[in-house]
Amino acid sequence: MNELYRGHEIVVLNGNPKSAEIVERQTGVKLPTKITPLPGEAEFSWRLRARQLIDLYLDALSVVH
């Protein structure tokens, strides 16, 4: 299931293992990263890492602007 967070969509890809991409909702641009769970990592944990990446990205943008 995809998740919206701070104007971004965490798009879950149903591969083996599952992974996720982050898409900026306003522009449709994918962030240049992919989140893949570590061996044995719970889905909640790697989704949390995706949200943390979004936070880092937005924090970096606020410094630039």
| pLDDT tens sequence across 2-41 | 999 999 999 999 988 889 999 999 999 999 989 999 999 9
Domain ranges, residue 53: 3-64
- Looking at per-residue pLDDT, the higher value among 65 and 34 belongs to 34
pLDDT tens digits, 40-58: 999 899 999 999 999 999 9
Q: Establish how many alpha carbons lie within 13 A of residue 54's alpha carbon, considering only the half-sphere containing its beta carbon.
A: 22
pLDDT of 29 reads 95
pTM, two decimal places: 0.87
CA 25 distance to own-chain centroid: 12
